[in-house]
Amino acid sequence: MMSPDLSSAPPLPNGLVAVVKRDCPTCELVAPVLHDLHERAGLTVITQDDPEFPIAAEWVRHDDDLALSWHHDIEAVPTLVRVVNGVEDQRTVGWSRHEWEQCTGVDGLGEGLPDWRPGCGSLSVDPAYADELAVRFSGSRLHSRRVELASLEDEWEAMFHRGWSDGLPVVPPTEARVLRMLEGTTRDRTEIVAVVPPSLIECTVEKVAVNAVMAGCAPEHLPVVIAALKAACTDDFNMHGVLATTMSVGPVLVVNGPVAKRIGMNHGLNALGQGNRANSTIGRALQLVVRNVGGGHPGGVDRATFGSPAKVGFCFAEDEAGSPWTSLAESRGWRANQSTVTVFAGESPRIFADERSRTPDSLTRHLAQALQATVSPRMMLGMDAMLVLSPEHMARYADAGWSRDRFMEELSAELLCDADELLAGFRGVAAGLPPAAAGQKVPKFRPGGLLVAHAGGAAGLFSAIVGGWANGPRGSDPVTREITP
């Protein structure tokens, strides 16, 4: 529920006030107590549904627009409140003889009734009313521009025609939906999250929420989208360059830490594919912000020769519990108890298959051969990559007691290549290293240029390789940011 704006709240009358509704068995149960308290202590009853419940009388007020219930944060009925000089002094929810007697100072209430009964949900928090009430009473209207549609205009088609979509249907960002999305963060909706390329437009929390609604996110996903946007809009990641390159790369998001479990992200079966709401929508929300706020449209600044399905949105969680190694985030200097998102400029994943290796040494050599071909087998040091090890492949290293550091050391050694075989013109291939590299051993990746994560289903002797884009000052570096409420 939105935080009530008490500055414009209709006041509760002084004295004892009970908020009830007829459609509540506990309220029906305590109806005689309401009469008794009015006679003995001057109780005022606020009724949400039936204006004649518990009786048609001057001391029974109908909260017909639910303004009083919403502004005073009534979450369940019956709620008994004691008001002193216009200020709430005490409240109790549901029926408890002991608590009602303590709150009212009146003894002998509800003779013959059970000592305790739970209440029912207030109409002001009922899903049928809550969104409309938040729009009407929140007191802090959205700053985003309203777009009025014609009476016969289809809202879904209208969003396609206005260019707000990535080609898939988007959820209409009504004010009620955006306000509900904003409940997923404690940040002020006017806070600037990032300056979004390519047009370098300031993007507020509210604008992120609008696009998160369109992407299909749930409110609890919003902090992850915000952190991902912060990471993607850094100079290090270079979102403008990622858009403008003709290579088919986009932001690949890897989520680590407690938040992944809390919001139900997938790190197992089909982790890099469809089927999980958080995985599917968080990356999409980031891309929609870049499109709709920053102006990064395909055919405009976005000049990818082919593009890829990954450019719709590519996001997954790492399987930390199932890994014998430190996580990707920990390898980048973060703590295990911190929730983070790492943004990497990558292409769609390609499968690496090895169903024969039974030792970590064999599997590592084979992985090195596959990684050597990332982007081009003759392109060295200039491109990063991400390796996602599956549980069955990870088991080879777990069984042998290899740590992440041991694996990276052994793999790096296997990725030292003879430059003579990679020189431009060797075996009639024009692409390759310059003549000055002759006689040297050259690493495939720069230090820290290969990111390794653990995810995937329990069955299948496959892993995934995600090729990257140009690294360093002329390209993009992976960026990790903490996810905060």
**Residues 290-340 pLDDT 10s:** 999 999 999 999 999 999 988 999 999 999 999 999 999 999 999 999 999
Which residues 6+ apart lie within 8 Å of 283 measured at CB?
228, 251, 252, 253, 312, 313, 314, 315
Q: Are residues 116 and 175 in the same domain?
A: no
Task: Tell me how many degrees the CA angle 92-94-98 measures, rounded to the nearest 5.
Answer: 65
Please say whether the dihedral angle defined by the alpha carbons of residues 166, 168, 172 and 178, taken in this order, is positive or negative: negative
pLDDT confidence tier of residue 112, bands split at 50, 70 and 90: very high
pLDDT given for residue 3 in this prediction: 47
Residue 275 lies in a domain: yes
Residue 149 lies in a domain: no
pLDDT given for residue 139 in this prediction: 61
Average pLDDT of span 72-76 = 96
Residue 120 lies in a domain: yes
pLDDT given for residue 140 in this prediction: 60
Average pLDDT of every residue of the chain: 95
What amino acid occupies position 108?
G
Q: What's the number of CA atoms in the CB half-sphere (13 Å) around residue 441?
A: 5
Lowest mean pLDDT among 144-153, 169-178, 272-281, 461-470: 144-153
Q: Are residues 256 and 317 in the same domain?
A: yes
Among the candidates 137, 170, 192, a domain finishes at 137
Residue 340 lies in a domain: yes
Joined together, the tokens standing for residue 227 give 């952190």
**Each residue's pLDDT tens digit, 207-245:** 999 999 999 999 999 999 999 999 999 999 999 999 999
Q: Are residues 310 and 369 in the same domain?
A: yes
Is the per-residue pLDDT at 89 higher than 50?
yes
Lowest mean pLDDT among 134-143, 407-416, 444-453: 134-143
Among the candidates 137, 169, 195, a domain finishes at 137
Residue 146 lies in a domain: no
User: In 10 A of CB 68, how many CB atoms?
Assistant: 21
**Each residue's pLDDT tens digit, 27-70:** 999 999 999 999 999 999 999 999 999 999 999 999 999 999 99
Read off φ and ψ for residue 153, nearest 5 degrees.
Answer: -85, 130
Average pLDDT of span 80-98 = 96
Read off φ and ψ for residue 315, nearest 5 degrees.
Answer: -150, 135
This prediction has a pTM of 0.84
Domain membership of residue 465 as a residue range: 159-482
The count of structural domains within the chain is 2
Q: Are residues 101 and 241 in the same domain?
A: no
3-state SS, one letter per residue, for the chain: CCCCCHHHCCCCCCEEEEEECCCCHHHHHCHHHHHHHHHHHCCEEEECCCCCCCCCCCCEEECCCCHHHHHCCCCEECEEEEEECCEEEEEEECEEHHHHHHHHCCCCCCCCCCCEECCEECHHHCCCCHHHHHHHHCCCCCCCCCCCCCCCCCHHHHHHHCCCCCCCCCCCCCHHHHHHHHCCCCCCCCCEEEEECCCCEEEEHHHHHHHHHHHCCCHHHHHHHHHHHHHHCCCCCCHHHHHHCCCCCEEEEEEECHHHHHCCCCCCCCCCCCCCHHHHHHHHHHHHHHHHCCCCCECCCECCCCCCHHHCCEEEECCCCCCCCCCHHHHCCCCCCCCEEEEEEECCCEEEECCCCCCHHHHHHHHHHHHHCCCCCCCCCCEEEEEEECHHHHHHHHHHCCCHHHHHHHHHHHCEEEHHHHECCHHHCCCCECHHHCCCEEECCCCCCEEEEECCCCCCCEEEEEEEEECHHHCCCCEEEECCC
Q: Are residues 237 and 335 in the same domain?
A: yes
C-alpha dihedral over 362, 364, 365, 369, to 10 degrees? 140
pLDDT confidence tier of residue 151, bands split at 50, 70 and 90: confident
Task: Tell me how many degrees the CA angle 379-383-387 measures, rounded to the nearest 5.
Answer: 110
Is the per-residue pLDDT at 5 higher than 80?
no
pLDDT given for residue 136 in this prediction: 85
Q: Are residues 168 and 131 in the same domain?
A: no
Is the per-residue pLDDT at 261 higher than 80?
yes
pLDDT given for residue 8 in this prediction: 59
